[in-house]
Amino acid sequence: MFHCDVVDVTKNKITLEKAQAFIESHKCGASLFFIGTVRDNNNDKTVTGITYDSHDGMVKKSFEEIFDEANKTLQLQHPVAFVEHAKGYVPLGGISVVIAVACKHRAQVYEFSRYIIEEIKKRTPIWKKEHYINEETSWLDGKKIEAK
């Protein structure tokens, strides 16, 4: 079972309650939540928030591919995952991404969660514009995407 979405945070919220409700399963004995939040400092600059931009169609496709790959590569038993990423302005401390996973046994949820976030960082078309205390902003450098 898999749910993913890009959440326009000017209209909706990413909530842990929704993630918890989705991953609950009597077949799973372990669940794990990864929560990405906006921190206050990057490259010696005081960060007040981040605006996330997203190519929604590619992002959802990428999330689905990552889930399928994780399932095959890690040979997961009863995998369940909930992935939501923010789009729009997220203030300091706000949630940028939630990855909630559940599996039959505990060892797999750690691998599963880690696999998803690392692959998102490598290939999912999401961009960050940091906002600083002096009201300056800067798009962060990223990783070039190549055609398959």
Partner 1 sequence: MKIKIELFGAARDFANDNILELKIENQTNIKGIRENLLQWLQKKHPNNSTYSNIVKNSAFCDENNEIVHDDYLVSKEQKLCIIPPIGGG
Residues found near partner 1 in the complex (CB under 8 A)? 36, 52-55, 57-58, 61, 85, 96-97, 117, 120-121, 123-129, 139-148
Task: Report the residue number, 21 or 127, with the smaller CB distance to partner 1.
Answer: 127
Torsion sign (Cα): 110, 113, 119, 121: negative
Least CB distance to partner 1 at residue 77 (A): 26
Is residue 38 within 8 Å of residue 83, measured between CB atoms?
no
Task: Report the residue number, 73 or 127, with the smaller CB distance to partner 1.
Answer: 127
Beta bridge partners of 49: 91, 131
String of DSSP letters for 83-131: EEEEEEEEETT-EEEEEEEEESSHHHHHHHHHHHHHHHHHH--EEEEEE
Least CB distance to partner 1 at residue 127 (A): 3
Task: Report the residue number, 33 or 78, with the smaller CB distance to partner 1.
Answer: 33
Task: Report the residue number, 15 or 137, with the smaller CB distance to partner 1.
Answer: 137
Least CB distance to partner 1 at residue 8 (A): 15
- Stretch (H or E) spanning 53: strand 45-54
